[in-house]
Amino acid sequence: MLIREYRLSDTNIIMKLFYDTVHEINICDYTQEQVNAWAPECMDDEVWQKRLQAKLPYIVENNDEIVGFGELEPDGHIDCFYCHSKYQRKGIGSKLLSHIENTAKFRGIKRLYTEASITAKPFFQNKGFSIVREQQVELRGVWFQNYVMEKYL
């Protein structure tokens, strides 16, 4: 596995990975209405391209296939963190999070935090994150439960 920085040519693959993961993995913990709001069928390429260019996620490749991505913001916020729906429990998330943690330490970031889905909560707990609070958030008129979680480095 290789971790590298985002390239503009990754955009459509990342969008599909995001959509597929939410609809095939997160559907276990959320309703169809929720996953449709979270990852709509018609996503705006331009919006995603601008977002990814601003956030510059780390991309995980395995045999030249993008199998995961994650974002680290300057304040330690991990925004998007997704592993390909076909490659769950293969060490991709662990490798990606380790890279994010090492990068954060190098940058002098002392605390990482995220809003973890019900699905992702056990992964982050197993990696030393603790729950700050459970919360309800609204997206496109639909409410979701997730967890603010943090880890001090």
**Tens digits of per-residue pLDDT, 2-39?**
999 999 999 999 999 999 999 999 999 999 999 999 99
Name the domain count of the chain: 1
Residues 31, 131 contacting (CB under 8 angstroms): no
pLDDT (tens digit, 9 = 90+) per residue, 87-126? 999 999 999 999 999 999 999 999 999 999 999 999 999 9
CA 50-55-60 angle, 5° bins: 110
CATH number at residue 55: 3.40.630.30
- Whole-angstrom Cα distance, residue 10 to residue 14? 6
Domain of 141? Answer: 2-152
Record the pTM. Answer: 0.94
Q: At what angle do helices 11-24 and 45-55 cross, to 10 degrees?
A: 100
Q: What's residue 74's pLDDT?
A: 96
pLDDT (tens digit, 9 = 90+) per residue, 30-81? 999 999 999 999 999 999 999 999 999 999 999 999 999 999 999 999 999 9
